[in-house]
């Protein structure tokens, strides 16, 4: 009885070990199953999903116009204080003074890509971009101004 158990355990263990080796042996000979992606080489073919949150961007149209009214909802909704909006008073053609953005400061180094600022923006002036290669040698390069120089608010956006 003891011997039967003893040898039974030996055989069952050898069998389980061989099943494992069969599997690794199978993958050793089937190179088409390899899942590695060679990242910097496949840059051209690499397509991030549309919704991927990589950074906050502010799209400008061909007339260098954006849609940010400077309402600061995004600044309020950001949990980390990564957004700082500096506004100025601009004199409109009709003579009235209006609040416009001066600089839209974005601290990429503090951003956690939560996307809450985009949710909060009433005019969809900002979006989440797909860029993810953000590494820099110094922290100061991560502080960005999102509104382009000379840009202005698109007409009709309030």
Partner 1 sequence: MKTLLSYSFSSLATHMHNWLKNVITNDLLLTVTELVIIGVCLLVFLILLAFFLGYMERKVAAFMELRLGPNRVGPKGTLQIVADTVKLLFKEGFTPDAADKFLFNLAPGIIITTALLAVAPIAYAKGFQLWDINIGVLYISSVSSMAVIGILMAGWSSSNKYSLIGAMRCGAQIVSYELSIGLSLISIVVLTGSLSLNDIVESQANGWWIFKGHIPVLISFVIFVVASTAEINRAPFDLVEADQELTGGFNTEYAGMKFAMFLMAEYINLFVVSAVAATIFLGGWMPFHIGGLTGFNHIMDYIPSSIWFFSKTLFIIFIIMQFRWTFPRLRIDQLLNLEWKYLLPISMVNVLLVTLMAIMGWHF
Partner 2 sequence: MLLGEEDHFNEEGEFVINIGPQHPSTHGVLRLKVWLDGETIKKVEPHLGYIHRSIEKMSESFSYRQFGYITSRMDYLSAHMNNQACALVVEKALQVEVPARAQVIRIILCELSRLSSHLLWFASAGLDLGGVTPFFYAFREREAINSIMEETCGARLTQNFMVPGGIITDLQPDFQKRIKEVLKQFKDNYHEYNEILIGNVIFQNRMKDVGVLTREDAIALGCTGPVARASGLSCDIRKHYPYDGYEKIQFDEVILTGGDSWARCEVRMAEMLQSVHIIEQLIDNIPEGDIVAKTKNVIKLPKGEFYQRVETARGELGVYIVSDGGSTPYRCKYRSPNFSNLMAIPHISKGHKIGDLIAIMATIDLIIPDIDR
> Mask 69-98, x = binds ligand SF4 (CB under 6 A)?
xxxxxx--xx-x-xx-x-------------
Q: Phi/psi at 18 (nearest 5 deg)?
A: -70, -35
How do 152-153 and 97-107 pair as beta strands? unpaired
Q: Which helix (H) or strand (E) holds 127?
A: strand 127-129
Is residue 68 within the footprint of ligand SF4 (CB under 6 A)? yes
Q: Which is nearer to partner 2, 127 or 157 (CB)?
A: 127
34 binds, among partner 2, ligand SF4, partner 1, none (CB under 5 to 8 A by kind): partner 1
The one segment of 17-25, 92-100, 102-110, 144-152 that binds partner 2 by CB under 8 A: 17-25
71 binds, among ligand SF4, partner 1, partner 2, none (CB under 5 to 8 A by kind): ligand SF4
Q: Are 16 and 95 in contact (CB under 8 A)?
A: no
- Taking the C-alpha atoms of residue 107 and residue 104, their distance in angstroms, rounded to an integer, is 10
Q: Nearest CA to 85 among 117, 112, 44, 53?
A: 117
Looking up tokens 């309020």 gives 76
Q: Are 111 and 82 in contact (CB under 8 A)?
A: yes
Is residue 43 within the footprint of partner 1 (CB under 8 A)? no
- Taking the C-alpha atoms of residue 129 and residue 55, their distance in angstroms, rounded to an integer, is 5
51 binds, among partner 2, ligand SF4, partner 1, none (CB under 5 to 8 A by kind): partner 2
149 binds, among partner 1, partner 2, ligand SF4, none (CB under 5 to 8 A by kind): none
Q: What are the residues binding partner 2 (CB under 8 A)? A: 12-13, 16-17, 19-20, 22-24, 35, 48-53, 77, 79, 112-116, 119, 128
């Amino acid at each position: 009885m003891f011997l039967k158990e003893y040898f039974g355990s030996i055989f069952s263990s050898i069998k389980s070990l061989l099943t494992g080796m069969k599997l690794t042996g199978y993958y050793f000979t089937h190179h088409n199953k390899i899942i590695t992606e060679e990242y910097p080489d496949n840059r051209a073919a690499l397509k991030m999903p549309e919704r991927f949150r990589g950074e906050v961007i502010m799209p400008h149209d061909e007339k260098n116009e954006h849609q940010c009214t400077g309402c600061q909802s995004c600044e309020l909704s950001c949990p980390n204080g990564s957004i700082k909006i500096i506004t100025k008073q601009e004199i409109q053609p009709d003579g009235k003074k209006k609040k416009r953005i001066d600089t839209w400061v974005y601290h990429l180094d503090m951003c956690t890509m939560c996307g809450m600022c985009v949710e909060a923006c009433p005019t969809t002036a900002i979006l989440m971009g797909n860029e993810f290669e953000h590494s820099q040698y110094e922290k100061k390069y991560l502080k960005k101004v999102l509104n382009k120089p000379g840009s202005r608010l698109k007409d009709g956006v309030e």
